[in-house]
Amino acid sequence: MTASDVPHDAPWPALPHETWTDTIATLHRWTQIVGKIRLERTPWINHSWHVPLYLTTRGLGTSPMRAGDRSFELNFDFQSHRLEIRVSDGVDASIPLVPRSVADFYDEVTRRLDAMDLTTPINTTPSEIPDGTPFEFDHEHAAYDVDAVFALWRALLDAHHVFTTFRARFVGKVSPVHFFWGSFDLAVTRFSGREAPPHPAGIPALPDWVAREAYSHEVSSLGFWPGNADNPTPVFYSYAYPGPEGFSQVSVRPEAAFWFDDLGEFLLPYDAVRDADDPAATLLDFAQDTYDAAADLAGWDRSALEWPGGAQGPERP
């Protein structure tokens, strides 16, 4: 299959992970290089909201970052398959996305930024990857399949639309829909407004204080994870922290959704959404049912936090 075989408007594409494990592993590390640049160039925002990437109409991007009197952004373009470096003074550059090692990609990104007077030192140890090789020494991960990357981006774009619709139903504190490059997933998180007990942390290659700050308050979180070599099934997930008593026992739509005790989350295989008559409605049912259960069992003040019809629905009572 070539890139031209994947229509640009084809929704919910197949994600045959067994054919693109190496590409995902490489892209995960490339997004961490770009994400860590954003981390260094952006003021700290609660729950690490300053570090994710954001979906664009062509891929994933950082949004503007400050560099003295200038601003710049880095954007993965998964249609032309380039990393675009755009600067507010009009001095732009691009790096082709082709099969190349993480070390080679890191070296070129660093050299391009240095040449543009945008030098940004980063911690080169991968985050949330056990025993990850520092970027400058990683010659193992070097795959890039344009079809796989395009399909992943198109699936993220479809999920992003549903997540945004779901986000619009909430008037309490809620995160943007954003892509965390550490865990390599798209997520949106609702908050009850109440403090939570200290998180147990223990996430590989992530400081415990970062995890505890991220979960300082009660949450209900919805996300999409494309899988990896150890767990190759792309899934949607929903969890609550702290998990209220009885949460794992509730029934949620659709029938393909299930509780996965090892993670303490509800999971819904991507293919169950993709194969549904109405994928968006199916995913929205999963999002709403899992949130309803978490909020009811934890006693959230739902009348004060929700706007069921969204911004274009009926007025809030």
Work out the number of other CB atoms within 10 angstroms of the CB of residue 261.
Answer: 8
**Domain spans in the chain, listed from the N-terminal domain onward:** 15-146, 147-305
* pTM recorded for the entire structure: 0.93
3-state secondary structure 30-74: HHHHHHHHHHHHCCCCHHHCCCCEEECCCEEECCCEEECCEEEEE
Tens-binned pLDDT, residue by residue, of the chain (317 aa): 334 444 555 789 999 877 788 999 999 999 999 999 999 999 999 999 999 999 999 999 999 999 999 999 999 999 999 999 999 999 999 999 999 999 999 999 999 999 999 999 999 999 999 999 999 999 999 999 999 999 999 999 999 999 999 999 999 999 999 999 999 999 999 999 999 999 999 998 999 999 999 999 999 999 999 998 888 899 999 999 999 999 999 999 999 999 999 999 999 999 999 999 999 999 999 999 999 999 999 999 999 999 876 655 555 55
Alpha-carbon distance of 99 to 23, in angstroms, equals 9
Residue-by-residue DSSP string for 77-144:
ETTTTEEEEEETTS--EEEE--S--HHHHHHHHHHHHHHTT-------SPSSSTTPPPGGG--S----
